[in-house]
Amino acid sequence: MREIAIRDALKEAMTEEMDRDSRVFLVGEEVGAYNGAYKCSKGMLDRFGPQRVIDSPIAENGFAGFGIGAAMLGLRPIVEFMTFNFSLIAIDQILNTAAKARLMSAGQLECPIVFRGAGGAAYQLGAQHANSFEHFYAYTPGLIVLAPATPRDMKGLLKSAIRNDNPVVFFESELTYSLKGEVPEEEYLVPIGKADLKREGSDVTIITWSKNVFLALQVADELKEQGIAADLLDLRSLRPLDEDAILTSVAKTHRVVIIQEQHQVASYGAYLSHLISTKAFDELDAPVELVSSLEIPMPYAKSLESVILPSKERCIEAVMRVLR
C-alpha cells in the first residue's frame, strides 16, 4: 500500500469531497495563494478557483461566522484555523451559534461545517501558541470533536466529517503534518465515534489520542521489552466517545494509564478517569493514572518544553505504578 504524508492525506480528503460535492468549499488564512500554512491545500486554489478556496483576512471571528452562515444556507464549509490557539477569537461563533443552531431552531437549521487546524504544542512557539483545547470543545453538546493521529485516519475521518450534517471540530498537529503512513488509494471512510486498538495486550490499557498516539507506541514498545503487554487504544473521536471500546479494554487489563497533552485540571483525561472509575470500578485493580502536561504555561525554551509535555519516562513510571 502507498505511503503519504498527513498533509497530503488531508488535501486528498478535501479535494475528493470538493470534487464529489459542489457545496463544499475551504476558507481560512493563507489557504489559497500560499497553499496553506502547512501546505495542506497545495494546488487547490488552481484546481477549484477563488470562489471555493477562499483566502480570508486575519479575522477568525469573521470567517468562522461566514462559514456558519453558509452552512445554515445549505453549503458545506471547511474552515481552517492556522492554529486552534487562534480559534479562541471565534469561540462565540463556534460554541454559541454553530453548536446550538439545530436545537434553537427546533431542527429547522442544520450546520454542516468542519473547523480544522493544528492543535497542541509545536517546537518553541511559546505559551500563546501551544494550547490543547480538545476538552474545551468536547465540553460543548452539539459539536462533534475528532482528534486522529495517523494519515489513514486523518483522511478517512475528515471525509466523514465533511459529509456529516453537524458542526465538527477536527484537531490536527503541526508536528505531524510531514509524517507518512499507509493510506488506501480507493475510496474509504473512517466512522465517527469508533476508537482504534493500535496494540493488543492484557497487562495495562493505555488510552490516548492525536499525536500522543506516537508517544504511546514508543511506550508500548519499551514495555514489551520488559515483558509487559499493553492494550493501546487510540480514541480518534472524543465526542461521540467509544465507551464500549474503553470498558472492554479495562475489563481485560484491569489497569489504565491515560496520556494527554492537556493540563490535568478540568481536562478530557480527567473526565475519562471519572468515566472509568464509575462505570468500571469493579474491574480496576489500581487507580487510573493520568499523564498530562505540567500545570504551567508553555515556556519558549526547548529544554523546558520537554519537561512540561508528557514524556516516555513519565508514561512508563505511570504504568509501573498501576502494576504494583
Peptide bond into 240 cis (omega under 30): yes
| pLDDT average, residue stretch 130-142 | 94
Mean pLDDT value across the chain = 96
Task: Look up the pTM and report it.
Answer: 0.96
**118 sits in which H/E element:** strand 114-118
Question: Which of 66-70, 129-133, 149-153 is least confident?
Answer: 129-133
In terms of domains, do 262 and 138 share one?
A: no
| pLDDT average, residue stretch 18-39 | 97
Within-domain flag for 15: yes
Task: Assign 123 a pLDDT band (cuts: 50, 70, 90).
Answer: confident
Q: What is the pLDDT of residue 302?
A: 85
Residues 6+ apart with CB under 8 A from 276: 246, 247, 250, 256, 284, 288
274 carries an active-site annotation: no
d(CA 62, CA 143): 19
In terms of domains, do 127 and 242 share one?
A: no
Question: Active-site residue among 17, 129, 135, 289?
Answer: 129
Within-domain flag for 111: yes
Question: Active-site residue among 12, 29, 60, 172?
Answer: 60
With H, G, I as helix, E, B as strand and everything else as coil, classify residue 114: strand
Q: What is the pLDDT of residue 126?
A: 86
60 carries an active-site annotation: yes
Q: What's CA 202's distance to the chain center, in Å?
A: 27
Q: Which of 147, 182, 217 is the last residue of a domain?
A: 182
d(CA 211, CA 172): 8
In terms of domains, do 178 and 282 share one?
A: no
Within-domain flag for 190: no
Within-domain flag for 259: yes
In terms of domains, do 237 and 287 share one?
A: yes
User: What CATH number does the domain containing 290 carry?
Assistant: 3.40.50.920
pLDDT digits over 275-297, tens only? 999 999 999 999 999 999 999 99
Q: Which of 182, 214, 232 is the last residue of a domain?
A: 182
The number of C-alpha atoms within 13 Å of 265 and in the hemisphere containing its C-beta is 3
In terms of domains, do 59 and 102 share one?
A: yes
In terms of domains, do 168 and 19 share one?
A: yes
In terms of domains, do 225 and 171 share one?
A: no
pLDDT digits over 214-264, tens only? 999 999 999 999 999 999 999 999 999 999 999 999 999 999 999 999 999
In terms of domains, do 8 and 145 share one?
A: yes
Q: What is the pLDDT of residue 165?
A: 97
Within-domain flag for 187: no
Within-domain flag for 191: no
Q: Which domain holds residue 107?
A: 3-182
In terms of domains, do 71 and 210 share one?
A: no
Q: Read off the C-alpha cell for 42.
A: 497545495
State the total domains in the chain.
2
With H, G, I as helix, E, B as strand and everything else as coil, classify residue 26: strand
Q: What is the pLDDT of residue 292?
A: 98
| pLDDT average, residue stretch 2-15 | 98
Q: What is the pLDDT of residue 146?
A: 98
Q: Does the pLDDT at position 117 exceed 90? A: yes
- Rg for the chain, CA atoms, rounded: 20
Q: Which of 129, 158, 182 is the last residue of a domain?
A: 182
Within-domain flag for 216: yes
In terms of domains, do 174 and 100 share one?
A: yes
b/e string for 82-114 if b means 16 or more Cβ within 10 A?
Answer: bbbbbbbebbebbbebbbbbbeeeeeeebbbbb
User: What CATH number does the domain containing 57 carry?
Assistant: 3.40.50.970
In terms of domains, do 37 and 142 share one?
A: yes
Q: Does the pLDDT at position 313 exceed 90? A: yes
| pLDDT average, residue stretch 21-27 | 98
Within-domain flag for 264: yes
Q: Does the pLDDT at position 44 exceed 90? A: yes
In terms of domains, do 25 and 75 share one?
A: yes
Task: Assign 35 a pLDDT band (cuts: 50, 70, 90).
Answer: very high
pLDDT digits over 180-211, tens only? 999 999 999 999 999 999 999 999 999 999 99
